[in-house]
A and B are shown apart, each in its own frame.
Chain A
Amino acid sequence: MVGGLFGEPVSFLIGEQSPQPLVLPFGLLGALDESGDPVGQLGPGRLQLIGDLSDQVTFPDQVPEALDADGGLDPALAGADRRITGDRERTDLGRVVDVGAAAELPRPGPTDLHDPVSGYVVNPRLATATAIAGTLTYPEGCLSVPGPYAPLERAALAQVTGVDADGR
């Protein structure tokens, strides 16, 4: 398992653990507030999902949805989209290794994959099981889109599979 952080597969029920909307800092997994402190009962510790550094993803300058019906850039959404990019850069504190953005994030140094308070899943592959567990709708937020929360339906059961800090 991941650095002993979560032990055996963890089950949390939305509503019992976090009465407040979640803040999910970009690149970090877990319920952390904007100071990086754990909220709810996911902490202490963090779990990072780390992709393949050789498989860097380049974000588009604007999401397609920022285009208005005529194909032009919606000024309101364009502004928000620039904010998203800015926050991706701002939230990189050296511990953030979300390789989805690695191509544009300055990384101060190598990440310590044996950080005692963090766990890592390298090259994670996500699987969900809505057929078994269904879905849940819950307010979700993200530091990449600071401020708002919106209800989002997601699978109630998910699993990431990858390798740990030692390549196992």
Chain B
Amino acid sequence: MSVSGTGLLARCLQHEADHLDGIVYVDRLSPENRRETLTAARLDG
């Protein structure tokens, strides 16, 4: 069986498939954006 989608659903599929490989979306950001995002996660939490 398969599930395919475009746009939002396509993003969800990739996001969740990444998790199965131990990858979070932050890992895919540019170094600058990654640092900014991780710092924000720490400060905003």
Contacts and interface: CB of A to CB of B under 8 A. Distances in A.
A148 B23 CA distance: 17
A126 B16 CA distance: 10
A89 B20 CA distance: 15
A100 to B, nearest CB: 4
Interface residues of A, number: 72
B24 A144 contact: yes
A101 B19 contact: yes
B31 to A, nearest CB: 7
Contacts of B25: 140-142, 145, 150, 152
Nearest to A55: B20
Contacts of B10: 128, 133, 136, 154-158
A36 interface: no
A44 interface: no
A155 B29 CA distance: 14
Contacts of B9: 6, 10-12, 42, 158
B41 A147 contact: yes
Interface in A1-46: 1-2, 6, 9-14, 17-18, 22, 24, 26-31, 40, 42
A113 interface: no
Contacts of A159: 2-5, 13
Contact of B41 (A136, A145, A158): A145
Given A10-B3, A29-B12, A49-B13, 11 more contacts: A1-B3, A10-B4, A29-B16, A31-B8, A121-B3, A136-B7, A138-B11, A141-B25, A147-B40, A157-B5, A168-B1
Interface of A: 1-2, 6, 9-14, 17-18, 22, 24, 26-31, 40, 42, 47-49, 51, 57, 59, 63, 65-66, 76-77, 79-81, 83-84, 98-101, 119, 121, 124, 126, 128, 133, 136, 138, 140-142, 144-148, 150-152, 154-164, 168
Closest 3 CB pairs of A and B: A159-B4, A147-B44, A80-B38
